[in-house]
Amino acid sequence: MELEERARDSADNCIACTSCIVACPVTKANPEYKGPKLVGPAHSRMHFSDPSDYEDTLMLCSNCKNCDITCPNGVSVSTLNMLERGRYLKAHPEAHKPEDKMLSHGFEMADMLNKIPFGKSLANLGMSIGEALGVMGAMGMAPERKTPRYASVYFRDLFKTIKQPSSDKKVLFFPGCYIDTNEPWVGTAFVQVMNENGYEVLMDNRFVCCGSPLVVGGYLDEARQHADTNVAIIQEYAQKGIPVVACCTSCSLMLKNEYTELFAQSEMKEAAKNVWDAFEFLTMLAEEGKLKKVNIKSDHKFIYHAPCHLRAQGMGLPAFDLLKAAGLNVVNADAGCCGMSGSYGFHKDNYETSMKIGQALFDAINADNYHKVICDCGTCRMQIQHGTDVKAVHPIEILAKAYKKA
């Protein structure tokens, strides 16, 4: 059912205060970008004048959502941008960049490779060769980047081999593409942590990619299909009283906020109530006194980077707070956006902007002798490892390790 409040109506709330322009990392790094206030709320009133027109620099928006976070009036600026980009690219498919299709449809490639014997190792080999030969650049990808490698066993298959104690208390895990196909060990760590707390973790392989990369690539119709599929599953579990938990903050943001903002369906708003970020969930357990206590003993010093898509969820920094409370020696980098923003930094044209944005974070990380960077987001971790030489891990890995040690 169509919701009454829609993101596009939120433009009405804009008082043109320009806070979002100040907060937008892309505007700062690339003055060519006209900035959130103009391309979002201001232009949303102008489309009538010429539906065939388009603000070219809207393509520069990374959908990092710092504008939404900053806006004192609740304008969904980034969503206005994505809706407008999608509207335009649908009418003008020729305006797509050559790499859009691939970067937005990573899940298709990953699924295909899983069906081919040795598909993944061949693909990884291919990528190494490709990188060496400079093929990535020709495909529109930033040649400087190392492409993420496929795990030999995806989490969806690995999960079947994990032995869990059964329990009445269950959660449904939403792994998201990156954890599923590239970093399955994060999923394993999640299962360990939940098991330690008396929860049994379920998987449902009907889940599809959350759709975030589809949205930024302008494939809104497909994203809508993904949303409908996932929302139906979430609601099915909601009826059984089983919460859905994600470790990737871009996935959880999508399930919790963006579906509703983009597509304005009441089912989506309803389903969102049953979705949790992993550390948000664990913090809730802690607040209820139900989290298994753990004391982290480590001589190392860590630095935490809060992904923009986590900050956009408006729930504080649950992983940072929880790990710190557990005794970890960790500081908050508090250095803004890493510049990667999902697939944004992979585009050749965005590479420079992406690295410029990340510089403050890289500097913060390099400022001291940190053992590891902790960050909830997979693509942030990739960017951090690219921009510094420090290894980046998901906070759930730290917690899982601590439980194991205890």
Partner 1 sequence: MVKDKATVVVVGGGATGVGILRDLSMRGIDALLIEKLDMVNGASSRYHGLLHSGARYAVKDQEAAKECIKENTILRRIGKSCVEATTGMFVQVEGDDPDFVDPWLKGCAESGISTRELSKEEALRLEPNLSRKLKVAYEVPDGAIDGFRMSWQNLQSAARYGGRYKTYTELIKVNIENATVKSITVRDNVTKEEYDIECEILVNAAGPWAGKVAELAGLECNVSPSKGTLIAFNQRITNHVVNRLRKPSNGDIFVPHGSITILGTSSITIPDPEDTSTSWEEVEELMKTGVGVFEHLRDYRILRVFAGSRPLYVPKGAEGGRNASRGFVTIDHEKEDGLKGMMTICGGKFTTYRLMAEKFCDVLAPKLHNTAKCRTAEEDLVPEVSEAEKKAARQYFPSYGVNLAATRLGVEKFGDVVKTLKEQPETREVLCECENVTMAEIQRIAAEPTSHCVADVRRRTRLGMGTCQGNYCAIRSAAVANKLFKNKFEGCSDSLSDMKNFLQARWKGITPVMAGKTLREAEMTRGMYELLFNVNGGRRG
- Residues that bind ligand SF4 in the complex, under the rule CB under 6 A: 14-20, 24, 26, 36-37, 41, 61-67, 70-71, 73, 75, 77-78, 81
Q: Please say which residue, 91 or 122, places its beta carbon nearer to partner 1.
A: 91
Q: Which is nearer to partner 1, 17 or 22 (CB)?
A: 17
Residue 100 binds what, of ligand SF4, partner 1, none (CB under 5 to 8 Å, by partner type)?
Answer: none
Nearest to 306 by CA among 377, 238, 389: 377
Mapped onto helix, strand or coil, the DSSP state of residue 293 is: coil
Using CB under 8 A as the criterion, what x/- string covers residues 12-41 for binding partner 1? xxxxxx-------------------xx--x
326 contact, one of partner 1, ligand SF4, none, CB 5-8 Å limit per kind: none
- 33-50 CB burial, b ≥16 within 10 A, e <16: bbbbbbbbbbbbeeeeee
- Which of 30, 69, 70, 73 touches partner 1 (CB under 8 A)? 73
- Look at the block and give the residue holding tokens 């630095």: 303
Q: Pick the closest to residue 182 from 207, 158, 162, 152 (CA basis).
A: 152
Residue 290 makes contact with partner 1 by CB under 8 A: no
Closest CB to partner 1 among 46 and 138?
46
The interface partner of residue 67, options being partner 1, ligand SF4, none and the CB cut-off 5 to 8 Å by kind, is: ligand SF4
Report the interhelical angle of 278-287 vs 395-405 (nearest 10°). 50
Q: Could you give the dihedral angle defined by the CA atoms of residues 215, 212, 156 and 395, in that order, rounded to the nearest 10 degrees?
A: 170
Whole-number Cα distances in Å, 8 to 4, 26, 256, 261, 350: 11, 22, 18, 9, 27
49: partner contacted, choices ligand SF4, partner 1, none (Cβ within 5-8 A by kind): partner 1
Residue 290 interacting partner from ligand SF4, partner 1, none (CB closer than 5 to 8 Å by kind): none
Q: How far apart are CA 53 and CA 39, in angstroms?
A: 12
Figure out which of the listed residues 3, 22, 30, 42 binds partner 1, where binding follows CB under 8 A. Answer: 42
Considering CB distances under 5 to 8 angstroms, the limit depending on partner class, which of partner 1, ligand SF4, none binds residue 176? none
Binds 71: which of ligand SF4, partner 1, none (CB < 5-8 Å by kind): ligand SF4
| Binding site partner of 379, from ligand SF4, partner 1, none, Cβ cut-off 5-8 A by kind | none
- The answer to whether 282 and 318 have CB atoms below 8 angstroms apart is yes
Measured between alpha carbons, how far is 301 from 154 in angstroms, rounded to an integer?
31
Residue that is written with structure tokens 């060769």 in the block: 129
CA of residue 125 relative to chain centroid, distance: 26
**Nearest Cα to Cα of residue 380 among 245, 280, 249:** 249
**Of these, 3, 22, 30, 47, which contacts partner 1 (CB under 8 A)?**
47
- DSSP states of 11-22 as a string? GGG-----HHHH
Q: Rounded to the nearest whole angstrom, what is the least distance from the CB of residue 97 to ligand SF4 in the complex?
A: 17
| Closest distance of CB 154 from ligand SF4, Å | 30
SS3 341: coil
User: Where do the DSSP E strands lie in 297-371?
Assistant: 302-305, 330-332
Choose between 1 and 325: whose C-beta lies nearer to partner 1.
Answer: 1
- Name which of 77, 85, 80, 84 is nearest 19 in CA terms: 77
> Minimum distance between the CB of residue 294 and ligand SF4, rounded to whole angstroms?
36
Least Cβ distance, residue 78 to ligand SF4 (angstroms): 4
Sheet with strand 170-174: strands edge to edge = 200-202, 170-174, 244-246, 275-277
**Binding-site partner at residue 63 among partner 1, ligand SF4, none, CB < 5 to 8 Å by type:** ligand SF4
Q: Does the protein bind partner 1 through residue 65 (CB under 8 A)?
A: no
CB contact at 8 A, 249 and 226: no
CB of 15 to partner 1, least distance (A): 5
Binding site for partner 1 (CB under 8 A): 2, 4-5, 9, 11-17, 37-38, 41-50, 53-56, 73
